[in-house]
Amino acid sequence: MTENTRADLESWFRYADELGLGPYYRDRAASKAFPLGQAAAPALSAPATSAAASPQFSAAAPRRSPLSPLPAAAPAKLMPLIQSPAGPSLFEERIENDSLERIRADIGDCTRCRLHKARTNIVFGVGNPKAELVFVGEGPGHDEDIKGEPFVGRAGKLLTQMIEAMGLERSDVYICNVVKCRPPENRLPEKDEISTCSPFLARQLTVINPKVVCCLGACAAQTLLETNQGISRFRGEWFDYRGSKLIATYHPAYLLRNPAAKGEVWKDLQKVMSVLGLQPKLRH
Ligand code: SF4
């Protein structure tokens, strides 16, 4: 190596150090989220059923999309984005004898973040407390805020159709959100709101301990996987989340705006069905 090259490299390293890039390169391999390789979980890579077995919610035939999952040989590298709150974290600590009732009681009439100001009801979650499958959305909308129940508006009706197409009833699964209060104007929850509220979600998932967590949309997936990568980079891939299998798919509200994406979502749900041993509900 010439002296000039060495000087250039040293200058670059100093510059990178000043930018604080050291932790980025040091820690990125240690991300908590990692795709489950096909070799480790071969059954997860094959759809349970033919996409031709069209579910009731699937108006569009499955088709190849530029948003198809990355091949197993080139898994998405997930970068940490959302940090756990400073100090002892509910993300890290397992609470002795925790229960959904205790979590709800701990939330109380919560004012921990600014979302409490405009809410009508705290939307905690509904469904089977021993569910094998939990759906996680981002936050309540207008209808959910009024009723105090997640996914009861138009997007909620579509989610119910999706659940029924999987051969389940809504009461078989558990449904909740990252934040429990409606963001004004249906905006996305902000980072500090997510970091304040999401420990309650983490506790809900720990208590329920489902086989599969299905994230609906980027917010839920990015929160649980602690990444800022776009959902199209890892949608339909399997990850480990504290012993549960986690998969991300598009939010039903997105499907209302982009019905052509229903085929991609159905492929993701088929993967979930394969893990849970479910058969699709066919049209009569
Ligand atoms: Fe509390 Fe969560 Fe509502 Fe914020 S969103 S006020 S943290 S319950």
Tokens, residue 151: 């996914």
pLDDT at 281: 73
Strands 133-137 and 174-177: parallel
Closest CA to 136 of 55, 248, 279: 248
Take residue 131 and report the two structure tokens written for it. 């569910």
Task: Please state, in angstroms and rounded to a whole number, the distance separating the CA atoms of residues 218 and 227.
Answer: 10
Q: Residue 74 contacts by C-beta under 8 Å, 6 or more apart in sequence?
A: none
Pocket flag, ligand 1, residue 104 (CB < 6 Å) = no
Q: What is the mean pLDDT of residues 202-223?
A: 98
**Ligand 1 and 126: CB distance under 6 A:** no
Q: Tell me, what's the pLDDT at 3?
A: 67
The pLDDT of residue 255: 98
Which of 124, 126, 277 has its CA nearest to residue 211? 277
Looking only at the bridges linking them, the beta strands covering 133-137 and 126-127 are unpaired
pLDDT(93) > 70 = no
Choosing from 113, 178, 198 the residue with most ligand 1 atoms within 8 A of its CB, the one to mutate for a pocket test is 113
Tell whether the model's pLDDT for residue 18 goes beyond 70. no
**Span 217-245, average pLDDT:** 97
Average pLDDT of the chain is 79
* 196 within ligand 1 shell (Cβ under 6 A): yes
Residues of the chain with pLDDT > 70, as a percent, come to 66
What's the CA-to-centroid distance between 91 and ligand 1, angstroms? 16
Q: Distance of alpha carbon 233 from its chain centroid, rounded? A: 13
180 lines ligand 1 (CB under 6 A): yes
pLDDT higher than threshold 80 for residue 262: yes
β-pair partners for 239 = 35, 246
Q: How many CB atoms lie within 10 A of CB 239?
A: 24
CB 280 within 8 A of CB 165: yes
Predicted pLDDT at 114: 98
Distance 196 CA to ligand 1 centre (A): 7
8 A C-beta contact, residue 77 and residue 112: no
Residue 176 in contact with ligand 1 by CB distance below 6 A: no
Tokens of 239: 């990850």
Query: What is the rounded distance in angstroms from the CA atom of residue 125 to the CA atom of residue 200?
Result: 11
pLDDT at 83 over 50: no
| pLDDT (0 to 100) of residue 55 | 52
CA of 185 to the centre of ligand 1 (A): 16
Q: Tell whether ligand 1 has an atom less than 6 A from the beta carbon of residue 122.
A: yes
Share of the chain above pLDDT 90, in %: 64
Atom of ligand 1 nearest to the CA of 139: 5
Q: How far is 239 from 173, CA to CA, in rounded Å?
A: 20
pLDDT, one tens digit per residue, over 99-157 is 999 999 999 999 999 999 999 999 999 999 999 999 999 999 999 999 999 999 999 99
User: Cβ(115) to ligand 1 under 6 A?
Assistant: yes
Domains of the chain (ranges plus CATH)? Answer: 1-55 (no CATH), 99-276 (3.40.470.10)
pLDDT digits (tens, 9 = 90+) for 162-176: 999 999 999 999 999
Flag whether the pTM goes above 0.85: no
Predicted pLDDT of residue 56: 46
Mean pLDDT to the nearest integer, 237-241: 97
SS3 5: helix
- Is the pLDDT reported for residue 45 higher than 50? no
Longest distance between any two alpha carbons in the chain, whole Å: 77
Position in ligand 1 atom list of the atom nearest CA 179 = 5
pLDDT at 144: 98
Residue 49: pLDDT band (50, 70, 90) is very low
Q: Judge contact between 78 and 34, C-beta under 8 A.
A: yes
Q: Give the pLDDT of residue 229.
A: 96
Q: Is 240 exposed, middle or buried (0-12, 13-18, 19+ CB in 10 A)?
A: middle
Q: What is the mean pLDDT of residues 243-268?
A: 97
Q: Which range is least confidently modeled, 66-70, 118-122, 142-146, 207-211?
A: 66-70
